[in-house]
Structure 1
Amino acid sequence: MDDLERFLDLVRRELGSDDARFELGGREPSGDDRVWASVPHSQAQGGAQGWRAVAVFDAAQTEEALAEHAAKLDGLVHSFVGIVDRLAHSGPRGRVSVASQEVDDALGVLAERAKALRAVVIDEDSPVLWGSSEVPRGPEDVEEAMWIGELAESAAQYSGPAGEDGLDLVALIDLDKAARREALAAVEPRKLRERLLRKLPVVRELGGQRDAEAWRTHFLTCRAIAAVRRAPERHEEVQDGLGWLARDFGGIYHVILVYDGLFSEIGAAGVMQRALPAIENLVLSLPPIDPTPKGARVLQFRPRG
């Protein structure tokens, strides 16, 4: 990775950006604080098709400045043709197959029939998210969902000095750095406040395509995933603002239905029981999947110095 790291260092220096990285797939970056350039595809070298270089600034840029930065980044990408071969060997080997789409589609039907917000399939050990009813599907794997779920759980359990219950992550996620710091200024303990300030920008970067309702469902789903991973022998939970029901198959897999509170456990369990054999067959027929996100993949290196 040394060549890739040196290239990203060069991008940061030449453009004066706060961050630089490579991304694979997913939606094209948007916003007045970033520019991107496609990495040229090389058929002869097996290709780095779908990769792009992204530079992110710590403040909004004018249209003129964005155009200048984009042109400079494009020139850098085309000047360093060696990154094509490097990225071709850094890409995820797991493929998005017809079978995996069928799992997602089946989970979408299950969620609709069970009147759930989301349906997902995880296992007990790997970071692979085997299926999700989210459309479009986000890039997070199970390990990312777990720490996001733990963060969301801490926010939900927060009790403020004035008696307020919970922190609204959906409202906090879209705030800029200064506004978020101001909104969290009174949050104690300090460790929670600093954790939120540090982690929320990362969460936002992962799921930039989500609107407020999608964020709400995502945070509930991550909390449910974290709960099942902590105690895979549990099959349901209902608490204020979150409910989930899980059923296992194949010894290690779990299908999880996610709700925003109370739900009909008998009704959901019946729908789940009828859908489970088909979902099991689809998941067990999947080809081997490397533990990499299904959406955009990010290769990011810490700035030197």
Structure 2
Amino acid sequence: MPEGPLIRLVELVRRELGAKNARIEIGGDPPDAPDVLWRELGSGWRIVALFDGPPSDVEEHRARLETLVESFAGLATGVAHVDQPSGRIPVAQALAASLADLAARAGGGDAVVIDMTSPVLWGSSDASRDPEEDVAAALKAAVVEERARAAGLDLAALLVAGEGSLGPALAKAPISEGMAAEFGREIRAIRRRAGQTVRTAAGWRRYVLVARSMTVARRLVAESSHPAHLRESVHEDGFGLLTRAFANIYLLVIAFDGPFSELHAEAATLHALPRIERLVLSLPPAPPSPGGPDGRAAQVVALRPRVKRRK
């Protein structure tokens, strides 16, 4: 059975139910004590929550345990089983479909896979993205979005404005003429970097949301003493994210445009992550850029996790 998802399930049960301890069992008779709750996982496996005494509201705790376990349906019988990528569709498309399914199940606006350092956007649930879009462009957009938010501007609304209406819209904003001109240049630059995709206001709002999420996720990596094991969530007004590191160097990031259930999103993530990881590791190396900063031809570098050798 998969240790990682099971350990996380145990952690969630203990935390969300306020249990003294929790564990996974197989076989034997189920526990029968007033300070214990349990739930069958399937194939003879069950999860057991132990309390210091009988829970104050047994039915409420049992219902919460039921909801959590249902979110991990099939865990004991193969949550870690990942089908080989089908030859009928490219791996990148399979990854996009898996990310879209995860975003829907988690209630997020978008789900993406990036890594901790490179500009490569390995996968996105947004099928409308231009293939040339990358993390570097998103990080630059997030900087502009933060400044726009501080100035009381709606960046997504300005991004969808036509060239003829952008100037008048900025002129009406409560900012100086010089700042309006600067925002105009930055907004045009974001459009160019975003490629040929034609976006509606909702599409640009989604783009800005995910750009901010990638930036925050990278910031969390920089602040973490163990980035390869990063597991973080952020809850702010009108913004949220859940990010999980996997395979040592990759980040799964789910972006939310408002409050979200961390428990529900965590459960959906743990269910989807094994397949997402397999698909990411099946992707071809990222294509090189036209040239490096020193003018020499760039080389293909395959970002893959380091293998720990036994001593």
TM (normalized to structure 2)?
Answer: 0.56
Q: Does 1:282 align with 2:279?
A: yes
CA offsets, 1:215-251, max 9 Å, x none?
1111100011111112224712121211111011011
Q: Does 1:225 align with 2:222?
A: no
84, 93, 99: which one aligns with 1:101: 93
Distance across 1 between alignment mates of 2:98 and 2:162? 37
Distance across 1 between alignment mates of 2:213 and 2:135? 11
Distance across 2 between alignment mates of 1:191 and 1:127? 31
CA offsets, 1:5-24, max 9 Å, x none?
xxxxxxxxxxxxxxxxxxxx
Map of 1:249 onto structure 2: 246
- Pairing of 1:1-80 with structure 2 (within 5 A): none
Equivalent residue pairs, number:
190
Q: Does 1:133 align with 2:130?
A: no
Map of 2:262 onto structure 1: 265
106, 111, 136: which one aligns with 2:103: 111
Q: Any idea what SS the aligned residue of 2:255 has?
A: strand
Q: Any idea what SS the aligned residue of 2:121 has?
A: coil
Q: Between 183-192 and 224-233, report the one with greater CA deviation.
A: 183-192
Contact conserved, 1:120 with 1:130, CA < 8 A, in 2? yes
Greater relative CO, 1 or 2 (CA 8 Å, sep 6+)? 1
Distance across 2 between alignment mates of 1:286 and 1:176? 37
Map of 2:169 onto structure 1: 183
- Pairing of 1:80-229 with structure 2 (within 5 A): 98-138=90-130, 139-158=132-151, 166-177=152-163, 179-185=165-171, 186-188=173-175, 192-205=179-192, 206=194, 208-229=197-218
The one-letter amino acid of 1:254's match is: L
Map of 1:94 onto structure 2: none
Distance across 1 between alignment mates of 2:102 and 2:199? 22
The one-letter amino acid of 1:267's match is: H
Query: Could you tell me how far 1:191 is from its partner in structure 2?
Result: 6.4
Distance across 1 between alignment mates of 2:214 and 2:178? 24
Structure 2, unpaired ranges of 5+: 1-88, 225-230, 291-311
Query: Could you tell me how far 1:192 is from its partner in structure 2?
Result: 4.5
Q: Any idea what SS the aligned residue of 1:167 has?
A: coil
- Pairing of 1:287-302 with structure 2 (within 5 A): 287-290=284-287
State percent identity of aligned pairs.
40
CA offsets, 1:153-204, max 9 Å, x none?
221232xxxxxxx311222123344532332235446665343111112223
Structure 1, unpaired ranges of 5+: 1-96, 159-165, 294-305
Distance across 1 between alignment mates of 2:282 and 2:107? 27
Q: Any idea what SS the aligned residue of 1:235 has?
A: strand
Larger Rg: 2
Q: Which runs of 4+ in 1 moved over 6 A?
A: none
Distance across 1 between alignment mates of 2:282 and 2:117? 19
Cα pair distance change 1:189/1:261, threshold 3 Å: farther
Distance across 2 between alignment mates of 1:191 and 1:237? 34
Contact conserved, 1:126 with 1:291, CA < 8 A, in 2? no
The one-letter amino acid of 2:261's match is: S
What is the alpha-carbon root mean square deviation over aligned residues? 2.2
